[in-house]
Amino acid sequence: MTAPDHRTGQRTPLDAVPGTSAPLRGALAEAGYPDLESLDGADYATLKALHGVGARGLERLQAALLEKGLSFSGTIPAPRGNGVTVTAGHTGVVASDIKTKPTNVSPAEYIETLDTPRRVEHGRLLLELFTRVTGAEPVMWGPSMIGYGETHYVSAAGREGDWFHVGFSPRKAKLSFYGLTSHPGYEQQLQRLGKHTVGASCLYVNKPEDIDLAVLEEMLTDAWNAQPQGC
């Protein structure tokens, strides 16, 4: 089971995620998922098959997981159109329930604390690549995401938040890439990338050896130069 949120030392109740219904929460609790963090790595299709669990609720939970640098596993549908507007720069206007924010932790120092020497090497490689291509300073977001650039989003319902333009997270299960699957031509680039999965507009890779790093650099360059879309 996933460890508690390292920012607070506490877990996030499912009813703290806006838009989650009582039947959804009940079904997940009965299946052994009492809180948001316990859903990290859970298979999307398995959850979707539970009675009382729907696509919209899972979409909201996946969005909340992503804000913590976590995610479901398996094939995750892209979010349905929701009228989100993303612009460059931060405004400082952030919904009160959004907890993932920039920290003062050094990304380079964080990478040196990863749980295996293999992931440390992966983290060093990606930190060099992202920093070189973007020319921006890396910033830690929450406990495990490394972001570059600044964006601000506003949903159709008026929910707002600051985010980064592109980024990555060297998680134990998979390497997660943010902001690389919305620019023009990314679908064709994915065909040349190598072994990967895509879910909720984010890209997941088991290890750098599984992909063509030149194609990843091409995607990163195009995404960085495109209008920010977020993840």
Chain centroid, CA 94 distance in Å: 17
Tell me, yes or no, if the pTM score tops 0.75.
no
> Looking at residue 92, what is its pLDDT?
62
Residues belonging to the chain:
231
Q: Residue ranges per domain, the chain?
A: 14-67, 85-225
> Looking at residue 6, what is its pLDDT?
42
Contact in structure between 194 and 224 (CB atoms under 8 Å): no
The pLDDT tens digits of the residues spanning 119-151 come to 999 999 999 999 999 999 999 998 999 999 988
> Looking at residue 38, what is its pLDDT?
95
| Fold of the domain spanning 85-225 | Aspartate Aminotransferase, domain 1 (3.90.1150)
Within 8 A by CB and 6+ apart from 6, the residues are 143
The pLDDT tens digits of the residues spanning 168-226 come to 999 888 999 999 988 889 999 999 999 999 876 689 999 999 999 999 999 999 999 98
Contact in structure between 38 and 13 (CB atoms under 8 Å): no
